[in-house]
Chains A and B, each alone.
Chain A
Amino acid sequence: MARNPYLPYPARIDETIIENESRDIKTFRLAFEAPANAAEFQYLPGQFAELSLPGVGEAPFGIASSPTEAGRLLFSVKRTGLFTEELHSLEPGTRIGVRGPMGKPFPWDRMAGKDLLIIGGGFAFTTLRSAIVYILDPANRSRFGSVLAVYGARTPGELMYRTDLAAWQARKDIGVHLTVDKADEGWTQHVGVVTAVLENLKPSAPNTLAIVCGPPVMIKFTLLSLAKLGFSDSCVILSLEMRMKCGVGKCGRCNIGGKYVCKDGPVFTREELRALPVEY
């Protein structure tokens, strides 16, 4: 019989990492209590899971680790509401439930053989980290063409995953452009909005798929830039955020048009989103 979709896997917090200067984004490294559950939790970058704290509730978060990082299950969470306040207060060793993986991942079959343009902003970079780690894995890298990433944050101190970013920038098989709205002393990289960097880089559109995750205002202008650069709507991939409860297409909360973000998304092409009401 199928597993009860409401029953979380028991896990514990193994490590917490503060990601930014504002100290309101933390990465939680989780470990499943039962090795069989770890084996069952098969995911791909772009998917999400519900984290569960008895008495507090549940909330959905994109998975920030890649399945290629064996034994590392990461979620980066910005302190925003009741659940995330509580989560941020927890120490390593605390028990936590994990329900998932849920939703559709980035379209990895379609992405094979393509050049990839990855654009992220702010704390929405989590599943993009997952995607980049996955792409750069030695077993996967040859399946994709060139990889170009543009990541923007308000200040250098707000960029997440700084160890990863430095490691990626040292590699020859990925271009990583970092930009900040406001530089500080010692910042030698781009200053300005993501779209300015993007339009300077002029990535070629043919045979390229773009994945975009970020705050609504960044998405809005990035979509305009991508259209200007010649990207068709079917080649632009986005990930939606919606309030969710069940995560399995029942509770109706994340319903947009005929779709449920939890099971039909969260990943959609720009073309698919054009067919939906703008209720996100």
Chain B
Amino acid sequence: MTEKRIPVTDLDGLLARFQEKGAVYAPANDEAGDVALAPLARSAPVILEYRNFRLSPKAFVLPQNQTLLCFKDGRAEEPGLPAGQTVLFGVRPCDARAMLALDKVFLDGDLHDPYYAGLRARTTVIALACTRPMSSCFCTSVGGGPAGADGADVLAVALDTDLLLKPLTSKGEALLASAANVLSDASPAAVKEAEEQVRAAEDQIPPVKAEQCARRLREAYDSPLWEAASRRCLGCGTCSFLCPTCHCFDITDEVRNGTGRRVRTWDCCAYPLFTLHASGHNPRPTPRERWRQRVMHKFRYAVENFDRLFCVGCGRCIRHCPAGMDLRTVLKEVGA
């Protein structure tokens, strides 16, 4: 399918069409005045001018709290999987790419995760190319770009008056086909304008030294850098919770009188309890080991296991760290 266009003024109509298929989430102001993905509502106009959401959209496929089992009278039962489709409009390309990293972990042959798979299958992602990167962005250094939306089903680019829509998967094609009568073919001039806009956005993103990081990290396991780099870490977990690829979780039970649920909850390798044995032994006893684990996991172990960096350069961990820690500094210094 070729690229499609729709006037920006008709976007509400397009999203309403998608709503016939299922729940649609689009960028709107939240209670705090931030732009966030919110259920489509007449009262909250869709916003196209925003940098990125504070929360990554990973919660749509890996909820912060998710029921794994229901207990009734002490017996375990599988919870029903949610029915219906979800369309996410306006996911930034970096966050769409992050879903490919999550896929590697959760859609893994014999050890397939049914809960993730169910949510992922019912979610259609429309990425919106970036025009104004933030100072913390570094997608172009980790394999992505302002329009590098592998992992999305449709890539949208907002021009002055038009929105261009390019299907990237069969799911995306089906979605656009369902709204064919409100879409028209994009003109070559519009496609060219979009390309130029993306290139201009790319030029605004300063490079970060991430090349060869797996090799460099392999040689830097015992580097004194970890001690220095981790000194500021409060172990608060903000970086993990906001990270679109962080996926480690805890499993706990909420049960009274034999009835309740087993639930998985986002967890974080910066927490001392993450690895604490019942014996009292802790294999990663200080922030030094824990911070090293976080960097190693994303930039070395994931590359070794999946041939993929588990960082998409969204910069949330840099922007929101209460202690001002900056991953880019470590990447630059390590093994250099």
List the interface of chain A (C-beta within 8 A of B): 2, 4-8, 10, 52, 54-59, 80-81, 83-84, 95, 97, 216, 241-243, 245-246, 248-253, 255-258, 263, 277, 279-280
Contact = CB atoms under 8 A, between A and B. Distances in A.
B283 A242 contact: yes
Contacts of A83: 278
Nearest to A94: B74
14 contacts: A5-B111, A7-B78, A54-B75, A54-B260, A56-B253, A57-B251, A216-B281, A241-B277, A243-B275, A243-B278, A246-B264, A249-B111, A250-B106, A256-B283
A83 B277 CA distance: 12
Given A81-B278, A250-B111, A252-B269, A245 B250 contact: yes
Nearest to B111: A248
Contacts of B53: none
A246 B296 CA distance: 21
A241 B275 CA distance: 11
B221 A277 contact: yes
Interface in B39-89: 68-69, 71, 74-76, 78
Contact of B68 (A6, A81, A84, A263): A6
Given A97-B76, A251-B264, A243 B71 contact: no
Contact of A279 (B255, B264, B284): B284
B108 interface: yes
A166 to B, nearest CB: 30
Interface residues of B, number: 49
A245 B110 contact: no
B311 to A, nearest CB: 15
Identify whether the interface residues of A are mostly helix, strand, loop, or mixed.
Answer: loop
Given A55-B71, A263-B111, A253 B279 contact: no
B250 A258 contact: no
Contacts of A81: 278
A54 to B, nearest CB: 4
B205 to A, nearest CB: 29
B237 to A, nearest CB: 13
Interface of B: 68-69, 71, 74-76, 78, 105-106, 108, 110-115, 221, 247-253, 255-256, 258, 260, 262, 264, 267, 269, 274-279, 281, 283-284, 289, 293, 296-297, 300-301, 304-305
Which of A52, A54, A58 has the most chain B CB atoms inside 10 A of its CB? A54
A40 to B, nearest CB: 14
Contacts of B256: 55
Contact of A10 (B75, B78, B301, B305): B75
A258 B252 CA distance: 26
A15 B113 CA distance: 34
A194 to B, nearest CB: 19
A61 B41 CA distance: 50
Contacts of A250: 105-106, 111, 113, 247, 249
Contacts of A10: 75-76
Given A55-B253, A241-B277, A251-B267, A5 B113 contact: yes
A6 B301 contact: no
Contacts of A279: 275, 283-284, 289, 293
A54 B258 contact: yes
B249 A251 contact: yes
A7 B106 contact: no
Given A5-B113, A258-B305, 4 more contacts: A55-B258, A242-B275, A252-B249, A255-B301
B74 A95 contact: yes
Which of B76, B276, B304 has the most chain A CB atoms inside 10 A of its CB? B76
